[in-house]
Structure formats: structure tokens, C-alpha cells
Structure 1
Amino acid sequence: MSESWRGRRIELEIGAVAHGGHCVARAEGRVVFVRHGLPGERVIAEVTEDKGGSFCRADAVEVLTAAPERVTPPCPLSGPGLCGGCDWQHASPAAQREMKAAVITEQLRRLAGLEREVEVEELPGGPLGWRTRVRLVAGRDGRAGLRAHRSHRVIPLAGNGCPITVPGALDGVLARKWRPGSEIEVAVDGDGQVHVDSAGVAVQHAAGRDWRLDAHGFWQVHPAAADTFAGVVGEWARAPRTGRVWDLYAGVGLFASVLAEQVGERGNVLAVESGRRAVVDGTANLVDLPQVHWRSGLVEDVLDALDPEDERPDVVVLDPPRKGAGKAVVDAIAEGSPERVVYVACDPAALARDVATFGEHGYELAELRAFDAFPMTHHVECIALLR
């Protein structure tokens, strides 16, 4: 094994953006994944991780030639060796969206064999002050902070706060000391109520409804995301009156509520969710929609137990976790032969893999929209229509 490059400084020309919040450069025949740089820049990068093999990781610690899109980060804790919560504070918001679009385009090309021009759309509210859910950790001194990138080291936030978090959300948390090593979950609901760690009830507003749910259960992090996504899902699903729909990975039933209105009282919406608390909350929130039928369990297990002939769907909506739906779930959906599949994805690579599997069953990617639901980070939300 060759000598580790860790700690070595290298002059690099930064290449294309890659999935994961970094860009690609090359040195001495090896790939270097560089954070805090931008495509086209020339930088001095310090290697932060080298496990041998064909690649290593590095931070751009000095910019020799800056890209026009480079800006001063709005947070003083953003930069090499500092907070790992954001990836792109050194890029203008427009450049961030362009890089995310490039990542989606590249993943679709590489994993699904599709050439697709992508635009990442901005959500209302701007690039700061949007994050309604934060998980912090207490350092050795008891002060709450966020971890450094790919590290357990805690970067304390006291005195700086977090500019991407909803204003005021962390004031009480940062003003006190915590047991060292403890994790602190903070959530701000749709009424502006701050919930810290307790299993309280949050109120949210989306899809023309008021929702009451576990304060720390799943809900979209960006305040505008839930309503925006519900609108797109409803527009593309177009579930027929009296039709049958599957809502997979249903959460508390955001999309199920939209689909239920489309199919009407004589229709059927099968909502499948593995989180028991989410099913309890969803059942209570949609008690006025008897056409929604809940199944608690893993999606693959529930679909495996269905009779596709008796329960064949007209439309399927799915919002899987970051790893995607996977072959077993995609195969089961395809076996039901829905006319349309609306896929909500928080990971471009997982989406591309599943789109490729749908393609093996004769489905084509008919529409795709992408949203910058996580400004300053590399994360992006996509909604795809397959027919």
C-alpha cells in the first residue's frame, strides 16, 4: 500500500461537480473529491481522508483562481474543517441550483441511460432561514453544536447560531448547557411553535388541511415543500374518479389526502407506511376520508401480500427514503400495471437507479421537476412522472 496522502497539500484544477457536495479533481492518476471548491477553480487542497486505492478526499484551503460564482459564506462556521451542515455556502444560490441540476443530469445519464435537461426550481423564502428541523449534539463542554464533515467533532454554535435554520428556533437550545454527547432534536411547526426533544404534537398546514402529528415525526424540512410537492403530485397523478391508488411510504398521508379527493368516496387509496406512529397520526388526520385504507409495514412486504389482479392500481405514488425503492418494490409496482407512477425522490442516484428498473418494465420518464428544498446543502428533491 502506497504512503497515505493525508495532510498533504496539492495544487489542483477543480473539475465537474459530483453527487455528495464535492467536485472532482485529479492528481498523479488519482481522483480527488474536493469540498469547498467550485468547477473551474484552481486551488490548494489539503487531503483530509485517504484510505488508499484510486481516490481520496480533500478540502480547498486556498483559492488561487476563483470562479465567478464564488461568494463569501453567510456563516462564519462554514469552511474547511468547520461545520459539516452545509456544502455550498461559498457558491451563489443560482450556482448551487445549477450544480444540483448537473448532478441530476449526470446521474440519469450514467445510471438510467437518459439524456435530460434539468432545472432546479427555487422554493419561496430564499436560501437562509428555511430549516425547520435540526439535530444538534452537545460537545464536551455541554454546548450544543453541529458535527464537522465526516467527523464526530462538535462545532459549537453559541454566538453564531445557524443561518439556514428558522430564526429564533435555536435560541433556547444554545442558551443552556446539555449533557456532553447528548443529541438535541429541534422542530418548528407550521404555527411557529418550537419543539425540543419532547414527544409533543406539532401543527402543520399543507394541501388545504391542518395536520397534527408527532413533533419529531417525518415532515418536510422546508416550510414551502409539503404544499408544493402535494400540488405537483396531484397534478401528475390525476387519479380517476372511483379509481384505485397506492400511496407508498405514505408518512402521515399528505399525498393520500390529495389522492383521496381525486378518487372520491367510492374510490380507494391504499396508504402503506412502516412507521407505526405515522400511521396513527395519518389515520387520525384523515378520519374524514374513509376511502383511505392504511397498511402498516414495510412496503415490499405489503405489496408481496397483495393480489395484483384484485387490487390493481390506476396510479401509484411513492416517496421512498434516501436509498430509493429498490428492485423488489419497483417490480411489484410494475406487476400492478398502473397507468402512471409519480415518484418523489430525495436522492438523484436512487431515483436514476429506480427509473432504470422501471424502464425494464416499459415505463418511460415523461416528466421531471426538481426543487431546491435544501439550499446551501447538496441535497435536492425531485418529482418524476413515469408512464
Structure 2
Amino acid sequence: MTTVETRPNWTGRYLEVEVGPPAHGGHCVARYEGRVVFVRHALPGEQVTVLVTEDHGGAFCRGDAVEVHRESADRVTPPCPVARPDGCGGCDWQHVSGSAQRALKAQVVAEQLRRIAGIDLSVTVEELPGDLLDWRTRVRLAVDRAGRPGYRKHRSHQIVPVQDCPIAVPGAVEAVSGQRWHRGAELEVVADTVGQLHVSELRPDRRPRLVRGGEVVERAAGREWRLPPGVFWQVHRAAADTLAAVVGEWAQAPTGGVAWDLYGGVGLFAAVLAAQVGPEGSVLVVESVRRAVEAGAANLADVPQVRWRTGRVERVLGELGDERPDVVVLDPPRKGAGRAVVQAVTDRDPARVVHVACDPAALARDLGLFLDQGYRLSGLRALDAFPMTHHVECVALLTR
């Protein structure tokens, strides 16, 4: 008869720990009585008191540093009053200097590559133009029972009402915080390139309601993009142009060649690839969101070498016959491309693959699959496109 070890539930208990290295997800690792404690609001090397907030009896639990006994030299005062234990869950590193934030993210990316894909690589996270604050052009807020907009707590459905948000562009949150909304709704606020604010109210039982604004205007990759509210666009002011430049530098699609832009959205990267292959070449965009395809086709109507297919990437690739691209760009959702898509791409034997990813663990899983198919990692750029949070945008170049 097997005996199952039961562990005490530490939820609500205070622990004195020394904080270890950062881990993927916006926390650091500590140990107490043989168990791992994932600690938020702390820094490596600090001595802290942790309040355990979540414990399911396994090998680890989660908690917040509620008192710091020995501070790291990288600790700063958070600029937002709700970036604290039991506060807003949106920002992970407001208590950390900018350079130290990027160093922590670099450690996490390198650790994920090494642990998951067996890639030993030194990583530097690059700062984007701008500041740690006022960079986020798109925000989504939840509405509490009293009709007040706010952000959810970490790993919780509880809502912290807010009047403003220091990482959002000025005026974005203020546009909705001064009024009451339908309880249970979500609010999407977009500040576009020309300075216009667009507000949509999203309710589970109704179609989205445009409250303010209309057509969203963005500028990137040397073009103007006119988009309906709700269609995906990069949230950092400088991210779209920066990513387009990196993709263009690494894609090197040949004149007259064939390029694929998978999970292509409204065609930001397709515009770059189309300029490289020229009128005699071909760019295929595959995107599952129909509204994004419709917007992209309208914006790139003057570029006839761009073709559009609506549907899940793995399904569309299975319908393409023996078409062989010279270069493939893929920008999958947070979970990554996965085995089926990587196999479908490598079966076509493109000379170059440019992989854009916002989750280092998912990126590492996909890179491992590409390496298994005979590709090698020829370059990696890590960009701090989400300051104050644990998120980081990476671009990887794979070649035969």
C-alpha cells in the first residue's frame, strides 16, 4: 500500500526567507523547510517576511514579501500605490530599477532556453525608446460590483479600483475611471498614434459597444494603418516599429521569392516582407481572426503580392500543397506555435525562420522542436516591450 505524503497548508502563515533567483512569471524563488516558495514583491538576495497566499499542499507555495529586512541595492519605491502585496496584479517589478528589471528578465530567458531547449546562451534584454512609465497604449480594465473600473489582483478575480495607471499613456485610464459602468463588464481603451482615445465596453451577454472614438490610426513600418477597435496591435509605443525592423533585418526574403507570415494579424510583418520580395514575389499571411484579415487586406490593398488566408495556421498549412517558402515569419500567441505547426514549417525546408514570441518558455519549447528538425539558432534579440511587468518580447532567427 502506497502512503501519500500530506503537507500542512501554509496559507496565511508568515515565513522568514532569503530570496533566491528570479523565476518565469514575475516572482523569485525561496526555500523553506524543503519546499519552494515563489515570492512576489522581492528581489534576489533580500531577507524578507513572506505571507503565504496560496498553498495546494504540493512541493511549492506562493506568497508576497510583506516586510523587507535586508534590501537589495536595486530596490526602488514603486511609482504606483496599488503595486503592492494584495494590490494590482498587473505589474511585477515596479519595486525594481529599470536596469535591474531587464537583467532579471535576461536571466529568466536564458534559464528557459537552457532548461527547456538545451540552449546555453548569454541574453541581454534591450531597452525600447521611451521610459518605464507612460508606454502602454492599450489597456483592459474589469468592472467591480460597484461599477468601478480597475485591475485584478494577482491570480484572482478580485478587482482593485484605480483612478489612473502610471504605465499607461496619460489620459487612457482617466477616460473611464470617473464614471460607473455595468458590473461584470470589461473596458478596452486604445490610445492611437494620432492621439485619439477609443473606448469599448465588453459585456459577456452582448456585442462590444463602442463608447468613444472609432477607427484606430497607427503608424509603423513606414505605413499608416487604419484599424477597427479590438484588433490586435502591439501595446508599447515603440514595439511595432522595432519588431518590424528586426524582422526585416533577419528575414532577408529574396527578390521574387516566397515568404510566409504566420499568425500575421493585420500584416505588419507582411508589409516588410512584401517590400523585400517585390512585385514579382509572394507573401502569404495566415491569421485566424477574420476582422484582422479584413483590416489587413484593406490596409495593404496597394500591395498585390500579399495573399490572405483566414483560419488556424495548422489547418491552412495542411491545405497549401507543395508550396515552399524561402522564409517564414511566425508570431504565435502566448502558448507558442507547437509541434504541428513547427513540423509543417520544417517540412517545407525554408532557409530562414524568424520566430517572434512574448513568452520565453513557449519560445524555448518551439526552438527545441526546430533544433530537432535540423535548424540552428543563429540569433536572438530580447526586447523590453513590457516594462514593469515580467513579460519580454523575443525574436529568434533559425537557419538550416
Q: Superposed, which structure 2 residues align to 1:165-180 within 5 Å?
A: 165-180=168-183
Q: Which residue of structure 2 aligns with residue 355 of structure 1?
A: 367
* 1:295-330 Cα shifts (integer Å, max 9, x gaps): 00000001111223xx10000000000000000000
Q: Using the alignment, how far apart are the partners of 2:144 and 2:352 within structure 1?
A: 49
Task: Give the counterpart of 2:394 among 379, 382, 386.
Answer: 382
Q: Which residue of structure 2 aligns with residue 80 of structure 1?
A: 85
* 1:86-120 Cα shifts (integer Å, max 9, x gaps): 00000001110000000000000001101101110
* 1:276-308 Cα shifts (integer Å, max 9, x gaps): 000000100000111000000000001111223
Task: Give the counterpart of 2:199 among 196, 201, 215.
Answer: 196
Q: Using the alignment, how far apart are the partners of 1:216 and 1:168 within structure 2?
A: 19
Identity %: 63
Q: Using the alignment, how far apart are the partners of 1:172 and 1:272 within structure 2?
A: 35
Task: Give the counterpart of 1:18 among 6, 23, 42.
Answer: 23
Q: Which residue of structure 2 aligns with residue 333 of structure 1?
A: 345
Q: Which residue of structure 1 aligns with residue 331 of structure 2?
A: 319
One-letter code aligned to 1:186: V
**Counterpart contact for 1:111–1:352, Cα < 8 Å:** yes
How far 1:170 sits from its partner (Å)? 1.8
Q: Which residue of structure 1 aligns with residue 287 of structure 2?
A: 273
Q: Using the alignment, how far apart are the partners of 1:76 and 1:229 within structure 2?
A: 32
Q: TM-score, normalised by structure 1?
A: 0.98
**Counterpart contact for 1:189–1:215, Cα < 8 Å:** no
How far 1:10 sits from its partner (Å)? 0.3
Q: Using the alignment, how far apart are the partners of 1:358 and 1:131 within structure 2?
A: 33
Q: Which residue of structure 2 aligns with residue 285 of structure 1?
A: 299
Q: TM-score, normalised by structure 2?
A: 0.95
Q: Does 1:344 align with 2:356?
A: yes
- 5+ residue gaps, structure 2, are 1-5, 201-208
How far 1:180 sits from its partner (Å)? 1.8
How far 1:49 sits from its partner (Å)? 0.2
One-letter code aligned to 2:233: W
Aligned residues: 383
Task: Give the counterpart of 2:94 among 81, 89, 94.
Answer: 89
* 1:232-258 Cα shifts (integer Å, max 9, x gaps): 100100100000011000000000000
Q: Using the alignment, how far apart are the partners of 1:312 and 1:140 within structure 2?
A: 54
How far 1:123 sits from its partner (Å)? 0.6
* 1:40-88 Cα shifts (integer Å, max 9, x gaps): 1110001000011101001000001011100000001111000111000
**Counterpart contact for 1:251–1:275, Cα < 8 Å:** yes
Q: Which residue of structure 2 aligns with residue 45 of structure 1?
A: 50
One-letter code aligned to 1:63: V
How far 1:3 sits from its partner (Å)? 2.5
Q: Which residue of structure 2 aligns with residue 98 of structure 1?
A: 103
Deviates more, 1:225-234 or 1:194-203: 194-203
How far 1:2 sits from its partner (Å)? 2.8
How far 1:149 sits from its partner (Å)? 0.8
* 1:174-231 Cα shifts (integer Å, max 9, x gaps): 1111122211111111111111004532000000000011222100000100000000
One-letter code aligned to 1:44: T
Q: Using the alignment, how far apart are the partners of 2:249 and 2:11 within structure 1?
A: 50
Q: Which residue of structure 2 aligns with residue 219 of structure 1?
A: 233
Q: Does 1:163 align with 2:166?
A: yes
Q: Using the alignment, how far apart are the partners of 1:81 and 1:30 within structure 2?
A: 23
How far 1:154 sits from its partner (Å)? 1.1
Q: Which residue of structure 2 aligns with residue 131 of structure 1?
A: 136
* 1:335-360 Cα shifts (integer Å, max 9, x gaps): 00000000000000000010000001
Q: Which residue of structure 1 aligns with residue 265 of structure 2?
A: 251
**Counterpart contact for 1:346–1:380, Cα < 8 Å:** yes
Task: Give the counterpart of 1:113 among 118, 137, 162.
Answer: 118
Q: Which residue of structure 2 aligns with residue 9 of structure 1?
A: 14
Q: Which residue of structure 2 aligns with residue 209 of structure 1?
A: 223
Q: Using the alignment, how far apart are the partners of 1:170 and 1:44 within structure 2?
A: 33
SS in 2 for 1:10: strand
Q: Which residue of structure 2 aligns with residue 367 of structure 1?
A: 379
Q: Does 1:238 align with 2:227?
A: no
How far 1:172 sits from its partner (Å)? 2.3
Q: Which residue of structure 2 aligns with residue 66 of structure 1?
A: 71
